[in-house]
Amino acid sequence: MLTTREAAKRLGVTMKRVQAMIRDDRLPAQKVGRDYIIQALDVERLERRPAGRPPKVAPDENKRSTGNIRRGNEASTGKKRRKK
């Protein structure tokens, strides 16, 4: 059993971040009085997860473009072309 402070130290985050994970149901915990008690196994599961967001999936090449990002289309950049 760990406190939020101990869990934060093991995860390398702040106590507020641990409390947010508990509130968002990403970290199971039991409230005892005014404090939370967290199972060490649950903290270990979070330690093993890769940090950050998952990588974006490459766009499907068969999917049609909307045309707004094609080169030379001023609507995509919001810039006006200069007259020569």
pLDDT in tens, 6-42: 999 999 999 999 999 999 999 999 999 999 999 999 9
* pTM of structure: 0.58
Residue 21 domain-assigned (yes or no)? yes
Q: What per-residue confidence (pLDDT) applies to 13?
A: 92
Mean pLDDT of 46-50: 80
CATH code, domain carrying 3: 1.10.1660.10
Residue 13 domain-assigned (yes or no)? yes
Separation in Å, CA 84 to CA 66, 78, 81: 29, 19, 9
Residue 36: which domain range?
Answer: 1-48
Q: How many domains does the chain have?
A: 1
Q: Of the candidates 3, 11, 6, 21, which has an alpha carbon nearest to the alpha carbon of residue 49?
A: 11
